[in-house]
Amino acid sequence: MEIDSTPPSTDQLASLAHPNRLAIFRLLMRRFPAKVAAGDISAALSHKPNTTSAYLSNLRQAGLISQSRQGNSLLYCADLDGLRGMFDMLLTGCCQNRPDICMPGPVARLAQPTSERPLKVLFICTGNAARSIMAESLLNRLGEGRFQAYSAGTHPGTGPNTGPSPRVLSLLAEKGYDTSSLSSKTLATFSGPDAEKMDFIFTVCDHAANEECPAWPGQPMSAHWGMPDPLQVTGSEAVRSLALQQSYGLLKRRITAFAALPFDTLDRISLQHQSDAIGTLTSET
């Protein structure tokens, strides 16, 4: 009997060589550690459901993603152990672990932010009208000068809907924020060669995380802090106002936790795990 001696990492490389399968894997990496429904993946990438299913099956067989079930939905998540195995094969088998070829140089820890050396943080959502605007305002206040926060949208509003939501501006003004400098901006504002270099980039909505983002100057750390869009809530004024207040409260909880991190004592792996964990905080936990 012939034994298949093909290394698993060869299958992984072959799986990622297909542009559509690579797009799915990149989407799941952007959403990691969250699990994403197959239907959401199809919609985000404009693939037919049966085609998406075939791509997902291939990536599972290659050990690059994992599958779980929630009710009637199949959920998918990037499998970091499988990805590390592929990297190990490339570094050890191909490069013989030569540090001058494959291994990155030492990465310094981030300095503890101060008013003299603030960390720069960009929050991204789709319209840059509510969640990212609130996050920008919250971190600039709660960070007490140790952070410089910005916000942008993958598809900020046009025409009469341009700019932050008046309801959001009203809420922030009621809480004592100066809203005069808040505006909706595109990602291009922060991705050009002359753009401000960010230390962190957080997506605060699933739609924005599903989309390809530009290559950011300075290689900032990133994490996904997804939450529903409060502006999409329908019903009475009381219901809509409650949704906005709840979104503000959740963002405040997450940003308070982020601002309290001991940046100077965490290596980048630990800091990444902490940032990911903050994105799973809810209003109740």
Answer CATH for 8-94 from 3.30.9.10, 1.10.10.10, 3.40.50.10490, 1.20.1730.10: 1.10.10.10
> pTM to 2 decimals?
0.78
Task: Considering the chain, tell me which residue range(s) the CATH 1.10.10.10 domain(s) occupy.
Answer: 8-94
Q: Which residues touch 140 (CB under 8 Å, ≥6 apart)? A: 147, 148, 149
- E strands in 217-271: 221-224
Tokens 């840059």, located at residue: 128
Q: Is the pLDDT of residue 109 over 80?
A: no
Task: Specify whether the CB–CB gap between 168 and 206 falls below 8 A.
Answer: no
Residue 1: pLDDT band (50, 70, 90) is: very low
Containing H/E element for 203?
A: strand 200-203
Containing H/E element for 202?
A: strand 200-203
Task: Considering the chain, tell me which residue range(s) the CATH 3.40.50.2300 domain(s) occupy.
Answer: 119-278
Task: Specify whether the CB–CB gap between 62 and 8 falls below 8 A.
Answer: yes
Please give the structure tokens belonging to residue 269. 């792996």
Q: Is the pLDDT of residue 260 over 60?
A: yes
- E strands in 30-189: 36-37, 65-70, 73-78, 119-125, 147-153
Length of the chain: 285
Task: Specify whether the CB–CB gap between 129 and 231 falls below 8 A.
Answer: yes
Nearest to 208 by CA among 22, 27, 24, 23: 27
Between CA 194 and CA 201 the distance in angstroms is 17
pLDDT in tens, 36-78: 999 999 999 999 999 999 999 999 999 999 999 999 889 999 9
Q: The sheet that has 36-37: what strands, in order across it? A: 36-37, 73-78, 65-70
* Residue bearing the bigger pLDDT, 8 or 174: 174
Mean pLDDT taken over the chain: 88
The DSSP letter of residue 264 is G
Name the architecture of domain 119-278: 3-Layer(aba) Sandwich (3.40)
Please give the structure tokens belonging to residue 69. 């079930």
Residue 86: pLDDT band (50, 70, 90) is: confident
Task: Specify whether the CB–CB gap between 28 and 36 falls below 8 A.
Answer: yes
Mean pLDDT of 1-10: 53
Give me the pLDDT at residue 91, please: 66
Give me the pLDDT at residue 111, please: 81
Task: Specify whether the CB–CB gap between 122 and 150 falls below 8 A.
Answer: yes
Angle at the Cα of 79 from the Cα atoms of 69 and 36, rounded to 5 degrees: 40
